[in-house]
Amino acid sequence: MTEHRSAFSDSWSFDEGDFTVHIQGSGPPLLLIHGIGPGTSIRANFSAVLPALARQRTVYGIDLIGFGASPGTRGPVRFDFALWVRQARAAVARIGAPRIAIWGQSLGAAVALATAAQEPSVCAVVGTGSGGGARELNAALDSFWTAPPTPQALREAMAGAVYDPSAISDAQIAERFARLHDDGLGASFDAMMASGKAQNLRSCWLPPETLARVHAPVLLVHGRDDQPVPYRESALHLLDHLPRARLMLLSRCGHNPMIERTDEVLSLALAHLQTHQ
């Protein structure tokens, strides 16, 4: 019987920097990739589902370069989609499994798909609130991709990413705002966005020829009420061009289905991973 691995963090390296990996659980390997936003990390995106995932999988959650517990690159702070794909591929190589699944949230789903297009060991992909299809910056994403100067601005930015804003507590706002400003994460994020948010978004677009190379089966779970990444602009583009994909569209749900519809998303994702492990 495989021993359950308690949660711990490790530092991994590749040619362009060091990054933190959060590891826990036992079973087939599952790589988690978070999205992009001020204060974002593996814990921020996946905390609602991590305990259940770790009961069935060995979970490797990477904090992308410049986020969470991962330091920046050895050069200037920048928004670099290709760098994050190279980081994910380095993680796949380090894990070294003949078959590995990936779950990405938001822009992390675009990173997951770009990685799967180049790594034949990827046997299944789950994308929640998936980016990679939209090329026009909207007001909700513009707000979400800004380090908020006040707690009220943070509340407004987070409200645009959920179906029911009343679910955002004062305690959540206070904790996240303190982390952004006490740790300097907000200033770092604004520096990352200095090259232009619209340009950054376009750099994450996945062309049909890239999506056509993703041979692993893909499950897309998207909130119908997702404002920063509307399903018509992103999820439908992915669905149109991925060879093996299905889309589950959830009503009364915003940008992170894992938080708003935890049990339903877990059931869908675990069934998909079990079928294609």
| pLDDT for the residue numbered 75 | 63
Residue with the bigger pLDDT between 195 and 133: it is 133
Average pLDDT in the chain: 91
Within a domain: residue 152? no
**Tens-digit pLDDT profile for residues 59-112:** 999 999 988 888 765 666 789 999 999 999 999 999 999 999 999 999 999 999
| pLDDT for the residue numbered 2 | 44
In this prediction, residues 145-173 reach a mean pLDDT of 86
Within a domain: residue 164? no
Alpha-carbon distance of 277 to 274, in angstroms, equals 5
3-class SS at 29? strand
- Which range of residues forms the domain containing residue 265? 5-137+198-275
Asked if residues 105 and 129 have their Cβ atoms less than 8 Å apart, the reply is yes
Please report, rounded to a whole number, the percentage of residues in the chain having pLDDT higher than 70: 95
Within a domain: residue 232? yes
**Tens-digit pLDDT profile for residues 27-48:** 999 999 999 988 788 988 999 9
Asked if residues 6 and 54 have their Cβ atoms less than 8 Å apart, the reply is no
Alpha-carbon distance of 114 to 154, in angstroms, equals 30
| pLDDT for the residue numbered 181 | 80
Please give the structure tokens belonging to residue 79. Answer: 């928004």
Work out how many domains the chain is built from and give that number. Answer: 1
| pLDDT for the residue numbered 1 | 37
Which CATH number does the domain housing residue 265 bear? 3.40.50.1820
Residue with the bigger pLDDT between 162 and 185: it is 162
Within a domain: residue 120? yes
Within a domain: residue 175? no
Within a domain: residue 183? no
Residue 223: closest CA among 128, 158, 145, 154: 128
In this prediction, residues 185-205 reach a mean pLDDT of 90
Within a domain: residue 263? yes
What is the model's pTM? Answer: 0.94
Within a domain: residue 230? yes
Strand blocks (E) in the chain: 5-14, 17-25, 29-33, 58-62, 100-105, 122-128, 218-223, 245-250
